[in-house]
Structure 1
Amino acid sequence: MRLRDALDDYKRTAGHERLFSGERRTVTGRFTGGDGRLVHVAPDGGLRDFGYPLTGRTGLVRSRFGIEADDDVIWFDAAATSQRYVGDTTLVETVHETDVATVRRHDVAIGEAHLTHATVEPADDTELAADDFALVAYATFAPDGRDDRVGQLRFSDAIEVYHADEHDFLASATGFAELRGQLPTTFPELLDDSPVDLPRGRDEGRYEEERLSGEVIVDAPFVDGETTVGTLLTEPAETSRETARNDLSSLFDELDTPDALADAASGTVPTVPDPVPSRESVVADLRVLSLLSAETGLRIAGPDFDPYYQHSGGYGYTWFRDDAEISTFLLGADETLGLDLDDWHERSARMYVTTQREDGAWPHRVWPRDGSLAPGWANARIEDGPDVDYQADQTGSVIAFLSRARAVGVDVDGLDAALVDALASLDGTLGEDGRPVVCQNAWEDSVGRFTHTTATFLEAYGELALHGAGLTGEVTRDASADRDDAPPDPAAHARERARQVYDALDDVWVPERGCYALRETVHGEIDDRLDSATLALASAHRTYDALDADGAVDDDRLDRLVSHVETVVDGLAHETDEIAGLIRYEGDGWRRGDQHSEKVWTVSTAWGANACAELAVLLDAHDDSRAEELAERARDLLAHVSPGGSLCEPTGYLPEQFFDDGTPDSATPLGWPHAIRLATVALLDEHDLPSATPSAAADA
């Protein structure tokens, strides 16, 4: 996204009650990709690249499509449209209904290429034939993220837009009936109060506009009622100019029908076997997680809609908390549903080992394309200050996944050493009283000693105790290092630590509210607000319970867990005429706009469903009849984030948040709730727990 585009959006949306100015929103439209580029196809057909974190290439930052006939252009943003995914793929079909013709488009990103295949059907009341039309494409490229010092090269079959390292190509299978460039928004236009509608007409007084910008307008004629426009992002060191043009030409020849495009797109989403429960939901979750993944296996949290950090800290990065929990959820779902995700698990494990720091921890955020350090605000362990600005739960989440991955046979170099070093790091942030020391929380908006962080420690120690057989303190990342903090038997040590953390949770029990506190503040006070992140206690206790053949969780703790989960789910529940779900925590004021109450979050709602399901399984293992009621609550909450639920968009996507009037907001789709949804579907199916009473939501 260029600053020019952010300022244009600011002019159009400043003062809006539901829009935050300067953002590039993805709450409508669909993405295509999963094998390199990540391209957003807006309902009006506009294309925009969001794949920079995944590939390091910026590509398209603005586009607009329409049809031309008799020298008149009809832009699709003024047309009625409908949009869908084709089958289980990432192929997007968009139908534009204009007064003179219906245009059916199919958009797909394959590697670093993107193709738009279009067919035209003239309206019954027009005398125009299909081949009298041309597809008009206005495209703005920002190679290397630049909108200055950009140039164009014109060839008979393509246009090349370049700055230095990145070279972007635009071509058409039917050639160009016309092409031209133009200057981007000028300084006077930027300073004017009114936004500028682009593209402009030709400015014959500025000859350089044809060559010295990333903006091009092309007419691609329809031949036999069809045309295809394609783009390709390259670097000359990897792909020569001639090869790039030949690659696009080959794609035009090979992928010249919607069926061929669907076949090419099918490999980007794992095949979902039949039968599988909630198939529509499972397919949507795997599609989203494919779209958000880099070739390394690391994932962005969501499409980066706010790259200038005006209203957030950005989303186009890998957080090890989110990513490792997604990996763990995928691992469990794969075991139950048979999704054949071995490659995914292996790639994740390999990158966690690769990105681990010498102190055994993981940095705040990294670029998913290569694991290098990304901008962040919780890198205290890299700096020389105190560890307060550090998120210890991230290390706990990675340990839990690596332990489980090791148990199912994932074998990557350095995995055992990474676990031993991570254990030492976790120990270093555990207080003498058995709870994590002061650090940042999962929501990244405060510091303290958080119950959620404690839950991740319990889960990490528990998983390592369960699956750490064969680990020794002598196995470290640096075999020559003398690690006096590495226990000789890491699994036994983890078991002892798990018991210590389990007991320490009593310190944050709030009997007056029947729940565990959000945190202990830096001043030693108990903050007893309800926090959806504390729902992680359910999964952590189920892991801990497996440490003893007869069950390690005692009856008193089971009672407290039931009380806690029910109190949090009931206390954070929020319902309006348009939506129903859970807010993030009591007093959450982030991105409220003009809304006075907290917003509903899909992560929190999905977490509620998963926690109820995890607790139901735990109760069932203890022959506790309350399992039925918790299973029913899990299904009810799951229904809110399932297809047809108020928090699930028609695209199948889960936005991060919703306003009370049903307006979706923030990162869309967000990977974390999609993984939780998938895991919860699998968990309920695996254990087939009955509901206490019949519920329509049970079929969701």
Structure 2
Amino acid sequence: MQLRDALDDYKRNAGHDRLFAGERRTVAGRFTGGDGRLLHVAPDGGLRDFGYPLTGTSGLSRSRFGLAVDGDVTWFDPSRSRQRYVDDTPLVETVHETDRATVRRYDLAIGDAHLTRATVEPDPDADRDADDFALVAYAAFAPDGRDERVGQLRYDDAVEVYHADEHDYLASATGLSDLRGQLPPTFPEVLDDAPMDLPRDRDAARYDEERLSGEVVVEAPFEDAATTLGTLLSDRSETTREAARSRLSELFAELDSASALADAAAGTTPTVPASVPERESVVADLRVLSLLSAETGLRIAGPDFDPHYQHSGGYGYTWFRDDAEISTFLLESDDRLELGLDDWHARSARMYVDTQRPDGSWPHRVWPRNGALAPGWANARIEDGPDVDYQADQTGSVIAFLARARGRGVDVDGLDPVLVDALASLDSTLAEDGRPVVCQNAWEDSVGRFTHTAATFLEAYSALARHGAGLAGDGNDGPEDDEFDDAPADHARDRAREVYEALDDLWVPDRGCYALRETDHGDVDDRLDSATLELASAHRAYDSLGDAPSTEADSSEADSTAGGAVDDERLDRLVSHVECVVDGLARETDAIAGLFRYEGDGWRRADQPGEKVWTVSTAWGAHACAETAALLSDHDDPRAERFAERARELLGLVSPAGALCEPTGYLPEQFFDDGTPDSATPLGWPHAIRLATIGSLDAHGLLTAEPVPADD
């Protein structure tokens, strides 16, 4: 998003009670991608690239589509358009109604290319043939992220927009009946109070308008009632001009129908077996996680709707907390639902190995396309600062996944020494009392000694204890060589016990729950926090150590019924805690129902007096209840069904028919009480939690309630 676009949005929406001015929102419309580019298709058909973090190319910053006849253009209206995904694929179909004709178009991103194929059906009263029409496209490219010092090269059927390294192409399968340039908004236009309606009319007085910008207006004529426009983003050092144009020509020839596009799209997302429970939800989750993934396997948190950091710290990066938890959820779901995601697990493990820092930890944020350090605010371990500005739970989350992946048989070079060094790194942030040191929290808005961080440590140590058989006593000359007196798996088991016992320090008897944190001043902050629901999964992981020796390395402790490590008193406390949190953070209005993040959360509330509902928190509540139900079932505790019922209720809120799921199948990050979705959409984390909750409930026969016997 260019600054001019952000300022234009500011003019349109400043003072709005539900929109944050200057953002590029994706709460409406659908994305296509999964194999390179990430391209948003708005309800009016406008296209915009969001894939820079995934590919390093910027592409389209904005666009607009319409229908022309005899020089008269009708721009498509979102109120007269409808949109859907074709089958299980990321192929987007949008139908535009106009007074003169109906246009049916299909959009698909394929690697570095994108095709818009459109067909036209004239209105019977229009007295026009289909081939009298042309598809009009206004497209603004930002090669190398620039909207100035940009130039154009023109051909009979295409235009090339370039700055330095990135060269972007727009071409038509039926040629271009019109092509004109357009300069970006001028300084007076930017400073004017009124927003701009683009594109403008041609300015004959500006000799440079035609060639010195990234903005073009083209008309592609319909032939046999169809036409196709294509774009391609390329690096000049990797793709020659001739190769780029040839690739678009080949795509035009190969994908010359809706069915051909659907066949091409089908190969970009995993195939979900028909027997999978809640299949519509599973398909949507895997589609979203595929869309948000780079070729490396690392994922952005969500499409970056706020690249100028006006109302957030940005979303187009990989956080190791979110990404590793998504990886763990996928690993568990694959085991339970047989989704065939082996390549995904291996890619994730390989990148975590490659991105580990010399001290055994993982940094705050990286670019998903290559693992390079990205802008962040929690890099104390790189800056040689105190661990206060470090998020230790991220390293814990990575260890938990890598240990489970190792137990499942994921084979990645260097995995064992990475786990040993990571174990030493985790130890370095564990205080003598058995709880993590003062650091930043999962929500990244405060510091202290958090229950959530302790939960990730408990889960990491437990997973490594269970799946660490055969790990050497030291790493590959890592930072803590010869650190452990015993085998790493046994050492991790001892540490898990320490953390398990230390959690008692955070118990709040008056509330019947665990505290949010101990502050850096030593006070107990007893507010309810949805992140503490991580305790459910952590206790399941720890419980599996009860009868399992460290030499055992089965595929998934989440499905083990060995049990026994969690004592009765702790089980009662966990039951009380999960119930207290899901009840205490519940909010229901006429429009929505769900859980908010934590008591007193004031972020992005605008004029709303209370906290906003979050899909992450609601899905987390569902998963925590499911995990608690499974743990209780392992202990033959009759309270299991009560928690399974609550899990199903919360899962329903984020399921495709639920109040917190958009018609697109997407889970936005947040909702206002009036039902207005807000922030990153779709957000990958809740989609992975939703998927894992289905798998957990199904694996334990709890996805549907037991039928109530009829009265005699």
Specify if TM > 0.5: yes
Looking at structure 1, the residues matched to 234 and 362 of structure 2 have their Cα atoms a distance apart, in angstroms, of 31
Q: Structure 1 regions of 5+ residues with no counterpart? A: 696-700
1:85–1:92 CA contact under 8 A, matched in 2: yes
Match of 1:511 among 505, 509, 512: 509
Tell me the equivalent position of 2:601.
588
Contact 2:29 2:664 in 1 (8 A): yes
* Aligned equivalent of 1:251: 251
Structure 2 Cα separation of the partners of residues 589 and 198 of structure 1:
36
Distance 2:461 2:695 in 1: 24
Q: Distance in 1 between matches of 2:545 and 2:209?
A: 69
| Aligned counterpart, 2:665 | 652
- 8 A contact 1:79–1:97 mirrored in 2: no
> What is the letter of the counterpart of residue 363 of structure 2?
P
Cα deviation for residue 666 of structure 1 reads: 0.2
Deviation at 1:268, TM superposition (A): 1.0
Q: Give yes or no for contact 2:459–2:542 (8 Å, CA) kept in 1.
A: yes
Q: Is the 8 A contact 1:79 1:98 kept in 2?
A: no
1:421-570 matches, within 5 Å, as 421-474=421-474, 476-478=475-477, 483-549=481-547, 550-570=563-583
Partner amino acid, structure 2, of 1:531? D
**Structure 1 SS opposite 2:375:** coil
Mapped partners of 2:322, 2:466: distance in 1: 22
Report what 2:73 is aligned to: 73
| Structure 1 residue ranges, 4+ long, deviating more than 4 angstroms after superposition | 690-695
CA contact (8 A) 1:629 1:691 kept: no
Separation in 1 of the partners of 2:541 and 2:132?
A: 66
Q: Does the C-alpha gap of structure 1 residues 133 and 690 become closer, same or farther in structure 2, counting only changes over 3 Å?
A: closer
Offset of residue 483 of structure 1: 1.2
Residues 601 and 487 of structure 1: is their aligned pair in 2 closer, same or farther, counting only changes over 3 Å? Answer: farther
User: Equivalents in 1 of 2:317, 2:515: separation in Å?
Assistant: 30
Deviation at 1:486, TM superposition (A): 4.0
* Contact kept in structure 2, 1:174 and 1:220, CA below 8 Å: yes
* Structure 1: distance between partners of 2:418 and 2:21: 43
> What is residue 609 of structure 1 aligned with on the other side?
622
Q: Which amino acid aligns with 1:316?
A: G
1:421–1:486 CA contact under 8 A, matched in 2: no
1:684 match = 697
Does the aligned pair in 2 maintain the 1:58–1:145 contact within 8 Å? yes
Aligned to 1:378: 378
Q: Find the counterpart in structure 2 of residue 631 from structure 1.
A: 644
Secondary structure class of the residue paired with 2:209: helix
> What code does the residue aligned with 2:71 have?
D
Q: Deviations over 1:234-273 (max 9, x none)?
A: 0111110000000000000000000000111111110001
8 Å CA contact 2:352–2:398 kept in 1: the answer is yes
1:613-651: CA deviations, max 9, x gaps? 000000000000000000000000000000110000000
**In the alignment, is residue 149 of structure 1 matched against residue 127 of structure 2?**
no
Distance 1:670 1:78, change over 3 A: closer
Provide, for residues 570-599 of structure 1, a one-character-per-residue CA deviation record: whole Å limited to 9, x for no partner: 000000000000000000000001100000
SS, match of residue 66 in structure 1: strand
Q: Deviations over 1:137-185 (max 9, x none)?
A: 0000000000111000001121000000000000000000000001100
Tell whether the 8 Å contact from 1:27 to 1:668 is kept in structure 2 after alignment.
yes
Q: Deviations over 1:313-370 (max 9, x none)?
A: 0000000000000000000000011111000000000000000000000000000000
Relative distance call for 1:532 and 1:611 in structure 2 (3 A) is: same
Aligned to 1:332: 332
Separation in structure 2 between the aligned mates of residue 612 and residue 693 of structure 1, nearest angstrom: 17
**Mean Cα displacement is larger for which, 79-88 or 573-582?**
79-88
Deviation at 1:693, TM superposition (A): 7.2
Structure 1 stretch displaced more, 202-211 or 68-77: 68-77
Question: Residues 236, 566 of structure 1: CA spacing in aligned structure 2 closer, same or farther, 3 A cutoff?
Answer: same
**Matching residue of 2:139:** 139
Give the distance between the partners of 2:126 and 2:248, measured in 1 at CA: 34
Alignment of 1:113-192 (within 5 A): 113-192=113-192
Alpha carbons 2:648, 2:703 under 8 Å: kept: no
**Structure 2, gaps ≥5 residues long:** 548-562
Equivalent position amino acid for 1:636 in 2: E
Q: Is the Cα contact below 8 Å between 2:694 and 2:703 reproduced in 1?
A: no
Q: What is the CA-CA distance between 1:543 and the residue it aligns to? A: 0.5
Superposed displacement of residue 692, structure 1 = 7.0
| Contact 1:303–1:316 (CA under 8 A) maintained in structure 2 | yes
TM-score under structure 2 length normalisation: 0.96
Alpha carbons of 1:176 and 1:193: their partners in 2 closer, same or farther (altered >3 Å)? Answer: same
CA pair 200-482 structure 1, distance change in 2 beyond 3 A: closer
Structure 1 residue 274, shift from structure 2 partner = 1.8
Q: How does 1:243-392 map to 2 (within 5 A)?
A: 243-392=243-392
| CA gap 1:559/1:146 in 2 versus in 1, 3 angstroms | same
State whether residues 54 and 294 of structure 2, in contact with CA within 8 Å, keep that contact through their aligned partners in structure 1: yes
Q: What residue is the counterpart of 1:698 in the other structure?
A: none
Alpha-carbon displacement from aligned partner over 1:115-141 (angstroms, at most 9, x marks no partner):
000000001111111000000000000
2:674 & 2:230 partners in 1: Cα distance? 39
Taking only the aligned residue pairs, the percentage that are identical comes to: 78
Alpha-carbon contact 1:619-1:626 (below 8 Å) kept:
yes
Distance 1:508 1:286 in 2: 37
Cα deviation, 1:6-54, whole Å, max 9, x if unaligned, reads 0000000000000000000000000000000000000000000000000
Corresponding residue SS for 1:406: helix
CA distance in 2, matches of 1:327, 1:512: 37
Q: Are residues 1:662 and 2:675 paired?
A: yes
Partner of 2:138, secondary structure, is strand
Q: CA deviation at 1:384?
A: 2.1
Cα gap change, 1:503 to 1:79, in 2 (>3 Å): closer
1:473 offset after TM fit, Å?
Answer: 1.9
Aligned to 1:213: 213
* In the alignment, structure 1 residue 672 sits paired with structure 2 residue 685: yes
Q: How many residues align?
A: 693
Q: 1:449 to 1:156 in 2, by over 3 A?
A: same
Counterpart residue number, 1:242:
242
Letter in 1 for 2:164: A
Match of 1:405 in 2: 405
SS at match of 2:546: coil
Question: SS in structure 2 opposite 1:303?
Answer: coil
Give the aligned residue type for 1:557: R
Return the alpha-carbon distance in structure 1 between the equivalents of residues 78 and 499 of structure 2.
60
Matched with 1:31 is 31
- Kept after mapping to 2: 8 A contact 1:629/1:692: no
Counterpart residue type for residue 505 of structure 2? D
Match of 1:20 in 2: 20
Matches within 5 A, 1:572-587: 572-587=585-600
1:598 to 611, 625, 641: 611
Q: Is 1:224–2:224 an aligned residue pair? A: yes
CA contact (8 A) 1:378 1:389 kept: yes
Q: Tell me the SS of whatever aligns to 1:394.
A: helix
Deviations 1:654-693, CA, capped at 9 Å, x for gaps: 0000000000000000000000000000111111037777
Matches of 2:103 and 2:26, distance apart in 1: 23
CA separation in 1, counterparts of 2:206 and 2:703? 72
What is the Cα-based RMSD across aligned positions, in Å? 1.1
